[in-house]
Amino acid sequence: MTLQTLIVERHGAVTLIRLNRPEALNALNGQLMDELTATLDETEADASVRCVVITGSDRAFAAGADIKEMASKSYADVFTEDFITANWERVTRCRKPVIAAVAGYALGGGCELAMMCDFIIAADNARFGQPEINLGVIPGAGGTQRLTRFVGKSKAMDMVLTARMMNAEEANQCGLVSRVVPLADLISTAMEAAQKIAALSPNSVMIAKELVGAAYEAPLSQGVKMERRLFHSLFAFDDQKEGMAAFVEKRPAKFTGK
């Protein structure tokens, strides 16, 4: 597929995906979401990719679903094409970690896409919001559910009902993002985190990701039980022997994924 709305770069075992519709502040249209879905399919199928970073521009991660494309759609259109479900949620099914590196606006579907990633690193100019209520609609890509789990009921209600934006500092304080860095350091920080993850044992990385994700969906007792079973299962891999032997022998581990 020739990509027109994304720039995809390969840096060792990390794929960096840049959303690239600058004329529309990276508004998420059907083409972009199709291209993102196809790119994530490829990264998942490529064993040499170990981690993915999704970013936008300095001005906008993404200013939401493309309002100009959406404006004339009827109920029959969105229901029949299964709008959002059809091509927006591929990132939630990735087994490899996906980091969102957010600068500028992450609004509506842009905020929702960032929240679908495993964690968000924000630049100090990042602004998060769910302003769909201003358009006579509501968040449609998980915003009412994921934002509430991230920041709690009161802040989620405030943002979803008033369309107020949150700056990077507030997003950091309430746990929406994992860290805030100066804008100039955003990509290098996200890539450093991704390269660190990419060098680890891929099995333990995928299992750890699955379990932290499960904490949002399963009751605590079931999540802990699942963690124990999968923790035990990692002792079936060579990487567990190698990782622990390397510690004891005071040398770097050489993980093989076996």
- Which residues are identified as catalytic? 65, 109, 112, 132
Q: Which residue has the tokens 């993002």?
A: 177
Structure tokens at 68: 């100009």
**Helices 220-233 and 202-214: crossing angle, nearest 10°?**
170
Stretch of residues binding ligand CAA (CB under 6 A), selected from 5-13, 23-31, 118-126, 230-238: 23-31
49: left (phi over 0), alpha (psi -120 to 50) or beta: beta
205-221 exposure pattern, b = at least 16 Cβ within 10 A, e = fewer: bbbbbebeeeeeeeeee
73 binds ligand CAA (CB under 6 A): no
66 binds ligand CAA (CB under 6 A): yes
Minimal CA–CA distance to 69: which of 32, 18, 112? 32
Structure tokens at 221: 């007792």
Q: Which of 40, 54, 107, 198 binds ligand CAA (CB under 6 A)?
A: 107
68 binds ligand CAA (CB under 6 A): yes
Residues 8, 49: Cα–Cα separation, whole Å: 13
Stretch of residues binding ligand CAA (CB under 6 A), selected from 61-69, 168-176, 222-230, 232-240: 61-69
**C-beta closer to ligand CAA: residue 40 or 191:** 40
**C-beta closer to ligand CAA: residue 14 or 126:** 126
Site for ligand CAA in 109-138 (CB under 6 A): 109, 112, 131-132, 135
Pairing state between β 127-129 and 166-167: antiparallel
**C-beta closer to ligand CAA: residue 128 or 237:** 128
Residues 218, 222: Cα–Cα separation, whole Å: 6
Q: Which of 13, 27, 101, 103 binds ligand CAA (CB under 6 A)?
A: 27
Stretch of residues binding ligand CAA (CB under 6 A), selected from 102-110, 150-158, 218-226, 231-239: 102-110
Q: Distances from the Cα of 209 to the Cαs of 51, 56, 94, 219, in angstroms?
A: 12, 23, 10, 17
108 binds ligand CAA (CB under 6 A): yes
139 binds ligand CAA (CB under 6 A): yes
| Amino acid sitting at position 133 | I
Q: Which of 64, 103, 114, 159 binds ligand CAA (CB under 6 A)?
A: 64
SS3 assignment, position 1: coil
Provide the mask over 79-98, with x wherever binding to ligand CAA is found by CB under 6 A and - wherever it is not: -----x--------------
Residues that bind ligand CAA (CB under 6 A): 24-25, 27, 63-68, 84, 105, 107-109, 112, 131-132, 135, 139-141, 143
